[in-house]
Amino acid sequence: MPRVTFEVESTAEPILIVSTRDAEGRPISQQVDLRPVDAGRRTGSITVANRQTHTLTWICTGNPGTQYKITLEPRNRVTLRRSRNPIESRIATTRLMTTGSDQFEVEP
Amino acid sequence: MSRLAKHSLAGALLLLAANLSVNAQERPEEVALRADVDQRGQSESEERDLASRASETGAVDAAPDKDEVSISAGKDKSVAKISLSRDSSLGRLTAALSTPINQRDDATQFFTLDGPAEDVKLDLEWKRKSFGLRRLPKVDFPELTERRLELCDRFAVPQGTACTDTELENAMTAAGRPSSEIAQALDDFFTVKIVGTNKPVPLLRVIPYRDFLVGGSVGRTERTFFDLPDSQREDDRLSYSLSASYRRIFESSRVTVSLATQRKFKEAEKARKCAVVDSSTLERCKDLPLGEAAVVDSVPFTVEYRLWRKSFAVSPKLAYDFEQQVAAASLPLYLITDSAGKLTGGIRVDWEEHKDPVAFVFVSSPLGLD
């Protein structure tokens, strides 16, 4: 089963949750254990099933306007439904957090 | 509080009538405490500004995310600072050593072979930020993702752009959607469903974000003073502080509760000693405090709430000093933004028990999480 590595570049505090549904349709979620690499960069990996649709949800807390970038590796085998890889956005100037979602599949 | 409201209104009217005072704030979010003001022995106008510094961990608060040597310009004096941070699974530990810039020499010394600089301060802070994940397995994230992607498709968030609250709001604003519809869409975007129920719950209520902060500082300042009858003496007793804070973050607001204990020193009124210059009628004079600096202890408890709105933000703060038994409050209203759209100034009303409220226009660093 392929392993996906997530790298988050931001001064914001992130949390990534990867989910799928089991055979009975119940959601199964796991938090990506992000570890600091250096200032403003964190990375973590999880193992996912081949050719199955997974959902990625992220929450970043930080100062208004803070930008962030989430990269899913290996980039040539991960396909996001909507976003470009890396995912880039920012916290709105009127909020202290941002959240987003997408679906992805990993080729073997 | 009714007295506060009455005095605040009076202060605001006075402000509009004339005498707009403009204060540059180094730490605008810190509220007034009398003990802090008295210790510094400043003039009345300076007192009102300095009164906001209840926190003694300022050097750490302003510390960067990485190890750094920096110089920061302050209102009273510029400070050189060395700060080191270490991240671990238990949180972030930051240490900062600061001393005022030596204006006369090229180098500013923190320590010499004779000991520490005349004025040096060591700050230590441990901060743990965390999401509450207890209810994570119960959240239906696949349903949330499908609903969010449907919202982003419906409101034409460009393909290739991340489906986030920020991009959804931008797309809806660009399309000229009414603010009520934007608010409703964002509400839907921020809401999750719990497995087994169909009840929508705000995301940050199910997965709360909070941080804990414990900090302390020790400062040494060399103080010279006149002792009666006219001898000159020195004193370098240590000032210190210990503080603990808890913060909870919501979509557009933040609540902070903190308790601190601190010891500072208030210098005495100054006296002048003059001596005749040989072979002349001239005099050389020296001004120094008359008597040893007085100890000022305080135990401030503070509650602060920050709220962001489309074009403004407020950050009311209440404080009570258990040692001095004095209450204080401040109400900054942020209205002015910088070129990046961050709020950096506005009008502020400060109130302190047994004193008249003060209203003034302020300029500060951008209002943020910290």
Report the alpha-carbon distance of residue B70 to residue B273 in Å, rounded.
38
- What pLDDT does residue B15 have? 38
Q: Hey, which residues 52-91 in chain B have their CB within 8 Å of chain A?
A: 64-66, 87, 89
pLDDT at B100: 81
pLDDT above 90 covers a percentage of chain B that reads: 54
Does residue B79 or residue B249 have the better pLDDT? B249
What pLDDT, on the 0 to 100 scale, is given for residue B338?
87
Most A CBs within 10 A among B139, B146, B164, hence the mutation to make, goes to B164
* Residue with token string 């009164």: B51
Helix, strand, or coil here: B294?
strand
pLDDT recorded at residue B351: 96
At A100, the pLDDT band (50, 70, 90 cuts) reads: very high
Q: Across-strand partners of A19?
A: A29, A55
Confidence label for B85 from pLDDT (cuts 50, 70 and 90): confident
Residue B265 bridge partners (DSSP) = B295
Give the dihedral sign, CA B296/B302/B308/B311. negative
Q: Which residues pair with A68 in a beta bridge?
A: A89
- At residue B238, the pLDDT reads 93
- DSSP assignment letter at B369: -
- Output the CA angle B49-B51-B54, nearest 5 degrees: 125
The Cα of A77 is separated from the nearest Cα of chain B by a number of Å equal to 17
pLDDT of the residue at B73:
57
DSSP 8-class letter at B290:
B
Task: Indicate yes or no: CB of B166 within 8 angstroms of CB of A92.
Answer: yes
Cβ neighbours of B201 in A, within 8 Å? none
Count of CB atoms situated within 10 Å of the CB of A86: 17
- The model's pLDDT over B132-148, given as tens digits with 9 standing for 90+, comes to 988 888 899 999 999 99
Q: Could you write out the DSSP letters of every residue in B264-279?
A: EEEPPPEEEEEEEPTT
Angle, helices B141-154 vs B179-189, to 10°: value is 160
Residue B67, pLDDT score: 64
Q: A83 vs B162: CB contact, 8 Å cut-off?
A: yes
- A65 with B340: Cβ contact below 8 A: yes
CA distances from B106 to A1, B11, B73, B101 (A): 61, 45, 16, 10
Asked if B145 and A81 count as a contact pair (C-beta separation under 8 A), the reply is: no
What is the dihedral angle through the alpha carbons of B157, B161, A104, B131, rounded to the nearest 10 degrees?
Answer: -90
Is the pLDDT at B78 greater than 80? The verdict is no
Rounded to two decimals, the pTM is 0.74
Work out whether strand B22-24 and strand B358-363 pair parallel, antiparallel, or are unpaired: parallel
Confidence of residue B113 (pLDDT cuts 50, 70, 90): low
pLDDT at B3: 44
Q: Which amino acid is at B119?
A: D
Look at A84 and B160 and tell me if their CB atoms are within 8 Å.
yes
Burial class (CB in 10 A: 0-12, 13-18, 19+), B234: exposed
Strands B326-337 and B313-314: antiparallel
Q: What pLDDT, on the 0 to 100 scale, is given for residue B16?
A: 38
Mean pLDDT across A2-19: 94
Residues of chain A in contact with residue B163, where contact means CB-CB under 8 angstroms, are: 82-83, 100-102
Provide the pLDDT confidence category of residue B71 given band limits of 50, 70 and 90: low
d(CA B300, CA B37): 13
Asked if B135 contacts B225 with a C-beta cutoff of 8 angstroms, the reply is no
Question: Could you give the CA distance from residue B295 to residue B109 in angstroms, rounded to a whole number?
Answer: 27
The per-residue pLDDT for range A29-88, each reduced to its tens digit, is 999 999 888 878 999 999 998 888 999 999 999 999 999 999 999 999 999 999 999 999
- Quick check: B341 and A59 CB within 8 A? no
Three state DSSP letters for B310-365: CCCEECCEEEEECCCCEEEEEEEEEEEECCCCCEEEEEEEEEECCCCCEEEEEECC
- pLDDT above 80 (res B33): no
Rounded CA gap, B186 and A97, in Å?
13
So what's the ipTM on this one?
0.96
Write the single-letter amino acid at B244.
A
Q: Please tell me if residue A21 touches chain B, with a CB cutoff of 8 Å.
A: yes
Q: What is the pLDDT of residues B294-345, one digit of tens each?
A: 999 999 999 999 999 888 999 999 999 999 999 999 999 999 988 888 889 9
CA B242 to chain centre: 16
Residue of A55, A101, A104, A105 to mutate when probing chain B, most B C-beta within 10 A:
A101
Kindly state the DSSP code that residue B28 receives in the 8-state scheme: T
Nearest to B310 among A94, A96, A97 (CB): A94
For B204-230, what is the mean pLDDT? 90
